[in-house]
């Protein structure tokens, strides 16, 4: 029997080796509030094991660092803003627990794109059986602080999302640890006609195309950001800071053009007066 494609790709992309210290492993933690017998609350910090990572409780908080949080939040924000302009009522969920089905773990993907949710009420969790829908795209930003957690994104979740029929799974990976500058790489999977994941091949510019969303994903020139583009037009999706900067640049150009027009009008009047 042929080896599953996800395992072959995992073997090429991920090799934790023996350099992962216990100190590094413990930096990824899960925070959980528990109620004590006297009714007070206490915050526990638990080592983020693969088991907790795959099946957190609703109010759990995974502490995986600023890079991880910023990247996931920016991707979800860009997708949410873009889908607001599109028909169809697509929802973009960020760090929300997904109840995949009886007997299965209930992970909280960093980003998921869901078509067909009928009730617009904000969700506490996404129950696939209750809602009758599943995400069309799931995105996980790998935390490099724990080799075991990283393997969960690169291996076990590939199996899990394939099993429940998630059409596309995108992984934002990095091997840098501690305070080293992150350089991302992208991995992608798409279900084939037999219901098995096959790698999404990058285009000539290194971009991965999500067919379910019509978005291209690409690691930026500095390596520490993921850029998003409309596949149909090639237009880059900009965050609020970039939109503000572009608006300021356009305003400055408009003011400069108006000043130049005023100067030319004054020059024309001066020349007419000299006749």
pLDDT of residue 256: 75
239: three-class secondary structure by DSSP = coil
Q: What is the pLDDT of residue 96?
A: 92
pLDDT, tens only, 158-185:
999 999 999 999 999 986 555 567 789 9
22 versus 250: which is more confidently predicted?
Answer: 250
Q: How many CA atoms lie within 13 A of 153 on its CB side?
A: 27
Q: What does the mean pLDDT of the chain come to?
A: 81
Decide if pLDDT at 10 tops 50: no
pLDDT exceeds 60 at position 124: yes
Is the model more confident about 178 or about 100? 100
Shared-domain flag, residues 60 and 77: yes
pLDDT of residue 137: 98
Clarify whether residues 258 and 177 are in a common domain. no
Number of domains in the chain: 2
Structural domain boundaries enclosing 254: 238-275
Pair 249, 157 in one domain: no
257, 166: one domain: no
Say whether both 134 and 201 belong to one domain: yes
So what's the pLDDT on residue 17?
37
Q: Which of 4, 243, 53 is nearest to 157 (CA)?
A: 53
Instruction: Say whether pLDDT at 98 is over 90.
Output: yes
Assess whether 191 and 206 both reside in one domain: yes
Same domain, 104 and 177: yes
Alpha-carbon span 215 to 182, nearest angstrom: 23
In the prediction, which pLDDT does 58 show? 74
- Average of per-residue pLDDT across 146-159: 85
Indicate if the pLDDT at residue 31 is higher than 60. Answer: yes
- Work out the number of other CB atoms within 10 angstroms of the CB of residue 267: 10
Alpha-carbon distance 77 to 72, whole Å? Answer: 9
Would you state the pLDDT for residue 130?
A: 94
Average pLDDT over every residue of 252-260 = 74
Same domain, 272 and 201: no
Shared-domain flag, residues 14 and 143 = yes
Q: Over 70: is that where the pLDDT of 57 sits? A: yes
Assess whether 121 and 163 both reside in one domain.
yes
């Amino acid at each position: 029997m042929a080896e599953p494609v996800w395992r072959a790709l995992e073997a090429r992309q991920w090799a934790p080796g023996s350099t992962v210290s216990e100190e590094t492993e413990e930096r990824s933690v899960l925070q959980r509030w528990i109620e004590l017998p006297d009714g007070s609350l206490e915050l526990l910090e638990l080592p983020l094991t693969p088991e907790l990572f795959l099946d957190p409780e609703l109010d759990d908080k995974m502490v995986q660092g600023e890079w991880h949080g910023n990247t996931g939040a920016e991707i979800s924000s860009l997708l949410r803003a873009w889908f607001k302009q599109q028909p169809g009522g697509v929802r973009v969920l960020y760090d929300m627990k997904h109840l995949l089905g009886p007997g299965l773990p209930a992970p909280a993907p960093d980003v998921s794109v869901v078509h067909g949710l009928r009730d617009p009420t904000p969700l506490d969790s996404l129950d696939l059986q209750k809602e009758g829908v599943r995400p069309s795209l799931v995105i996980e930003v790998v935390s490099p602080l724990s080799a075991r957690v990283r393997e969960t994104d690169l291996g076990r979740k590939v199996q899990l999302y394939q099993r429940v029929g998630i059409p596309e799974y995108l992984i934002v990976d990095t091997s840098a640890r501690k305070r080293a500058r992150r350089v991302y790489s992208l991995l992608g999977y798409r279900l084939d006609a037999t219901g098995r994941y096959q790698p999404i091949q990058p285009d000539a510019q290194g971009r991965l195309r999500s067919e379910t969303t019509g978005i291209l994903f690409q690691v930026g020139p500095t390596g520490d950001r993921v850029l998003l583009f409309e596949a149909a037009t090639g237009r880059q999706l900009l965050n609020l800071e970039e939109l503000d900067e572009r608006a300021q640049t356009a305003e400055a150009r408009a003011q400069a053009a108006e000043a130049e027009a005023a100067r030319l009008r004054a020059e024309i009047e001066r020349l007419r007066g000299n006749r």
